[in-house]
Structure 1
Amino acid sequence: MSELILARLQFGATTIFHFLFVPMSIGLVFMVALMETLYVVKKQDVYLKMAKFWGHLFIINFAVGVVTGIIQEFQFGMNWSEYSRFVGDVFGAPLAIEALLAFFMESTFIGLWIFGWNRLSPKVHLTCIWLVSFGTIMSALWILAANSFMQEPVGYVINNGRAEMNDFAALLTNPQLLVEFPHVVFGSLATGAFFIAGVSAFKIKKNLQVDIFKKSFNIAMVIGLIAGIGVAFSGHAQAKHLMESQPMKMAASEGLWEDSGDPAGWTIFAIIDEKTGQNAYELTVPYALSYLAYGEFQGSVPGMNTIQAEYEATYGEGNYIPPVNTTFWSFRIMVGAGVVMILLSMIGLFLSYRKKLESSKIYLQTMVWLIAFPIIANTAGWIMTEIGRQPWTVFGLMTTEAAVSPNVSTGALLFSFIAFTLVYAILAGVTVYLFLREIRKGVVYSPADEPQVAIDPFDKGAYQ
C-alpha cells in the first residue's frame, strides 16, 4: 500500500472509533442531567437512582473517549504534516478554545458532580451536571467549527502558501457549521436516548427493577423521538446547503451522473458502475430529490459529469468525483437508520401509554438491537461527509494527496496503524466489560451510598 492509503486508513479507523464515544457522551450526560432535574423538582428517590446509574455509564464512556481523542491527535503531526502546516493557523484557534474552555469545564464539573453528592446543595449539584452537558456540546461546536472550515473555507487569506485566519467571526458563522452543528447534536441526543432505551428494554424483558427502567425507557423515548425529528429537519437543511457549497457531494450521494430532470426523483436503490459512470438499475421516488435539494417539488439537480467539467475549469485537470458507491450507500444507511428510530420511538411511547410495554417481548428485544442504530447512523453520516469531499482535504484549497507527510515511510505508517488498532481494540474490550458489569449490577445505589471523601485533607479521620 502507498503512504497515502495507509494514512487515510489510519485516520479513518481512529476517527470512527473516537466518534463512537463523542455522541454517546453528549447524549448520556444530557439524559443524566434531565433525570437529576426531575429528582430535584419531584423529590423522588427513583430519579436520583436513575441519575446515578446512567451517570456511572457516562463517566466510563467519557474517560475512554478522552483517551481515544488524545491518540487521534498524534496523527496530525505524524501523518498529515503538510495539512497541519497549511491549515494550522486556522485549525489551532478552535481546537485550543475547545481544550482550554469546553474540556476544562467538563473535567472540572464532572469532578464536582462525582464527589459532590450530599456535599453540595441539590441545586448546585444539579448545576454541575448541566454545566458538564453544556461543556460537551461546546466541545462539539469548536471541533465542528474546525471541520466546517475543511468543508467550506471561510475567514482566511493565503499567505506564504498557508491559510491564515483573518476573520474569527466568519469561522463561527460558517454556513456549514450552522447546519452541521444541530445535526450532530440531535444525533448525539438520539445516541444517548436509544442506549438508555435499549438497556432499559433488556432489564424490563428480564423483569429486573421494572419500575425504575420503565421510567428510564419513557424518558429516553420522548427524547429519542424529539431528537429523531430534529435529525431529519437539520439533515434536510444540510442537504439544501450542499447544493450551494459542495454540489459534487450531493450528486455523488444520489448516484447522479447526468443532470436530473425537473422535478428530480430521489434514488432509493441503484446498481452503480463507477468505471463506466453509469447506473445499471435505479429505483426512484418522483419529486423527492427536488424537495431534498431545494425544499420544493421542482428544480433540476446537476450531475457529476457536469460538475466535473466545472471543477476542471476552476481547479485544473483531475478527477473530482469521490467514491460514489461509498457516498451513495452511507447516505442511505444513515437515512434508513434514522427513519427506523423515529418509528420505533413512536411505537414504544404508544405501547407504554397503553401499558403493553412489558408484554411486548419482540419489541423489547428489538430495542436492545436498536442500541447500534444511532451509532451506525453517526458513522455512516461521517463517512458520507468526509468521503464525499474527496479528493479534497480542505475543499478547493488542498487535496488529500498533498496533505500527507512527505517523510513518513510505509513501514512507519504500517507500524503505527497496527499499534493504534491494538490500543483501540484493548480500549473497546475494557469499555464493553465495564459497561456490562455496571448493567448487570443494575440500580443499587441509595442516597447514603456515596464516595468516602475527606472533608479536611489534613484530618485523615474526618469522612462523610
Structure 2
Amino acid sequence: MDALLLSRLQFAVATFFHFIFVPLTLGLSIMIAIMETKYVRTGDEEYKRMTKFWGKLFLINFAIGIVTGITLEFQFGTNWSRYSAYVGDIFGSLLAIEATAAFFLESTFIAVWVFGWNRIGKKFHAVTIWLVAIASNVSAFWIIMANGFMQHPVGYVMRNGRAELEDFIAVITNPFAWQQFLHVLFGAWMTAGFFVLGVSAYHLMKKNEVSLFRRSFNIGLVFALVFSVLVATQGHLHGNEVAKTQPTKLAAMESHWETQTNAPMYLITVPDPENERNSVELLGIPSLLSFLAYSNPDAEVVGLKDFPKEDRPPVWISFLSFRLMVGLGTLFPLVCLLAWFWRDKLPDKQWFARLLIWFIPLPIIALEAGWTLAEVGRQPWIVYGMMRTSDAVSPIDTSQVAITLVAITLLYTLLGFAEVYLLKRVAERGPVTH
C-alpha cells in the first residue's frame, strides 16, 4: 500500500464513522425543539420529561460526534495538503463560515440549553434548543456546499496554478450541492424519526410510560413517514442532476456499458468490469434508464466504454452502494405505513415493535451507502473534472499514514462502543420519574 491508498482509507474511516452521528444530530435536535415547544405551549410536564429524555440521548450523540469530526479538519493539512493548496480559496472559505458562524452558535446555545433548566425562562429556554437545531442544520449546509463544489465545481477562476473564488453566489447556489443537501437533510430527519420510533416501540412493548412514549412514537412516526417519502422523491431529482453533471457516475452505478438511446434498465444485473460487460442481465424494462435519468424515454445514456478506463469509477462499489441505498429507501415508507396503521396497537404487536427496534440502524446504513456512491462514484477525481485524487495527496511517508490510520481506527472503535453502550443504557432506562 502507498501513501495515497492509506490516506484514502484513513479519510474514509474518519468520514464514514463521523457521519454515523450527523443524521441523528440534525433530525433529533428538531424533534426535541418541537417537544419542548409543546411543553411551553401546554404546560404539560410530560412533554418536559420527554424533552429531557430525548435530550440526554441527543447530547451523548452530539458529544461523541464532535470528537470524531475533529480529525477530518486536520487531514486536509496533513494528508491532502496539495488539495488544500489547489482549491483552499473556495473550500476553506466555506468551512470557515461553518466553523465561525454555525458551529459557534450551535456550541454556545447547547451549553445554555443544558444548564439553563430552571435558570432562564421557559420560552427563552425553548428558543435555545431551536437555535441549536437551526445551527446544526445550517452547519450541514456549509459542509455540503463545500462537498458540492468537489462534485460539480462552479464559481472559480484559475490563477497562478490554483483555483480561486470568483463568484461566491454561484458556489452557494450550485444546483448539484442543493440536491445533495436536500437529500442528506431529508435522510437525516428520517433517520431521527426511525430512532425515536424504535426506542419508543421498545418501551411500548414493555408497557413502560405508555402515554409518554405513545406521544414520542407519534412525533417520530410523522418524521419517519414524511421524510422517507420525500427523500425517495427528491432522490430521483438528485439522480437527474448526477446524470447531467457526472455521467461516469451514472454509468457506473447502473453498470451501463454501451451508449444507447432508449436505454433499458435491468432488474437483475451482475457486472463484469474486467470484460466491460454484464455477465447477467434479466428482466429488462425498455427505455426505463433513459426516462429515469433524463425524464425522456428516448434520451441517450452514455456507456462506460465511451470513457477512458482511467476516468471510470470503481463499478462494483458504485453499483452495490446504489442498490443498497435504493432498496432500503423503498422499504422505509412501507414500514412507516404499517406503523401508522398499528400505532395504537403496539403493546399488543410485540413482533412489530421488535422489528422497529431493529430498524434503528438501517437508515444510517442507507445514508452511508449514499455517501459511498457520492464519493467513490466521483473517482478518480477529488474535484470532478479538475483535480485527480492522486494529485491531491500530501508528500508524506507511507509509514506515518499507516500509524495514524491504525490509531484513528482504534480510537473510533472505542468511541463506537462507548456510543452504543451509553445510548442503549439511557434509552432502556427511560425518562426520570420526577
TM range (shorter): over 0.9
Displacement of 1:209 after TM fit? 1.8
Displacement of 1:326 after TM fit? 0.5
**Structure 1 residue matching 2:301: 3-state secondary structure:** coil
Compare 169-178 and 204-213 and name the one that shifted more: 204-213
Give runs of aligned pairs for residues 62-77 of structure 1, distance below 5 A.
62-77=62-77
Contact map agreement 1:53 1:445 (CA 8 A) in 2: no
The whole-number CA distance in structure 1 between the counterparts of 2:298 and 2:89 is: 42
Distance 1:134 1:413, change over 3 A: same
Displacement of 1:178 after TM fit? 1.7
Aligned to 1:267: 266
Aligned to 2:93: 93
Larger radius of gyration: 1
Compare 288-297 and 207-216 and name the one that shifted more: 288-297
Contact map agreement 1:251 1:303 (CA 8 A) in 2: yes
Give runs of aligned pairs for residues 55-134 of structure 1, distance below 5 A.
55-134=55-134
Contact map agreement 1:52 1:445 (CA 8 A) in 2: no
**Structure 2 residue matching 1:358: 3-state secondary structure:** helix
Compare 139-148 and 32-41 and name the one that shifted more: 32-41
The whole-number CA distance in structure 2 between the counterparts of 1:106 and 1:270 is: 46
Runs of 5+ consecutive residues of structure 2 not aligned to the other structure: none
Displacement of 1:41 after TM fit? 2.3
Cα RMSD (Å): 1.4
Q: Residues 394-419 of structure 1, C-alpha deviation per residue, up to 9 Å, x if partnerless? A: 0111001111112x111111100000
**Structure 1 residue matching 2:275: 3-state secondary structure:** coil
Aligned to 2:401: 413
Return the match for 2:332 from 319, 338, 341. Answer: 341
Amino acid at match of 1:410: T
The whole-number CA distance in structure 1 between the counterparts of 2:335 and 2:421 is: 28
Distance 1:267 1:33, change over 3 A: farther
Give runs of aligned pairs for residues 148-163 of structure 1, distance below 5 A.
148-163=148-163
Aligned to 1:254: 254
Q: Does 1:27 align with 2:27?
A: yes
Q: Does 1:439 align with 2:427?
A: yes
Aligned to 1:47: 47
**Structure 2 residue matching 1:125: 3-state secondary structure:** helix
The whole-number CA distance in structure 2 between the counterparts of 1:208 and 1:292 is: 46
Aligned to 2:36: 36
Aligned to 1:370: 359
Contact map agreement 2:271 2:278 (CA 8 A) in 1: yes
Distance 1:168 1:271, change over 3 A: same
Compare 431-440 and 363-372 and name the one that shifted more: 431-440
TM-score by length of 2: 0.97
Aligned to 1:459: none
The whole-number CA distance in structure 2 between the counterparts of 1:329 and 1:61 is: 29
Q: Residues 19-76 of structure 1, C-alpha deviation per residue, up to 9 Å, x if partnerless? A: 0011110011111111112222232222111111001111111111111111122211
Contact map agreement 1:290 1:296 (CA 8 A) in 2: yes
Displacement of 1:270 after TM fit? 1.3
Amino acid at match of 1:270: T
Q: For this pair of structures, how many residues does the alignment match?
A: 433
Aligned to 1:386: 375
Displacement of 1:140 after TM fit? 0.5
Displacement of 1:386 after TM fit? 0.4
Displacement of 1:298 after TM fit? 4.3
Distance 1:172 1:445, change over 3 A: farther
The whole-number CA distance in structure 2 between the counterparts of 1:64 and 1:291 is: 43
Give runs of aligned pairs for residues 231-250 of structure 1, distance below 5 A.
231-250=231-250
Aligned to 1:455: none
Aligned to 1:332: 323
Displacement of 1:281 after TM fit? 0.7
Distance 1:105 1:445, change over 3 A: farther
Displacement of 1:335 after TM fit? 0.9
The whole-number CA distance in structure 2 between the counterparts of 1:187 and 1:412 is: 36
Aligned to 1:182: 182
Displacement of 1:260 after TM fit? 3.9
TM-score by length of 1: 0.91
Q: Does 1:428 align with 2:421?
A: no
The whole-number CA distance in structure 1 between the counterparts of 2:431 and 2:285 is: 48
The whole-number CA distance in structure 2 between the counterparts of 1:437 and 1:320 is: 48
Q: Does 1:400 align with 2:389?
A: yes
The whole-number CA distance in structure 2 between the counterparts of 1:172 and 1:99 is: 16
Aligned to 1:454: none
Amino acid at match of 1:62: F
Amino acid at match of 2:331: V
Displacement of 1:167 after TM fit? 1.0
Q: Share of identical aligned residues, percent?
A: 46
Displacement of 1:90 after TM fit? 0.8
**Structure 2 residue matching 1:157: 3-state secondary structure:** strand
The whole-number CA distance in structure 2 between the counterparts of 1:149 and 1:30 is: 27
Amino acid at match of 1:272: P
The whole-number CA distance in structure 2 between the counterparts of 1:245 and 1:15 is: 24
Q: Residues 272-321 of structure 1, C-alpha deviation per residue, up to 9 Å, x if partnerless? A: 11110110112334443233212354433221112x0xxx5xxxxx6111
Compare 80-89 and 42-51 and name the one that shifted more: 42-51
Runs of 5+ consecutive residues of structure 1 not aligned to the other structure: 313-317, 447-464
The whole-number CA distance in structure 1 between the counterparts of 2:191 and 2:342 is: 21
Contact map agreement 2:206 2:347 (CA 8 A) in 1: no
Amino acid at match of 1:398: M
Amino acid at match of 2:272: D
Contact map agreement 2:261 2:298 (CA 8 A) in 1: no
The whole-number CA distance in structure 1 between the counterparts of 2:109 and 2:197 is: 26
Contact map agreement 2:312 2:379 (CA 8 A) in 1: yes
Amino acid at match of 2:364: I
The whole-number CA distance in structure 2 between the counterparts of 1:194 and 1:209 is: 19
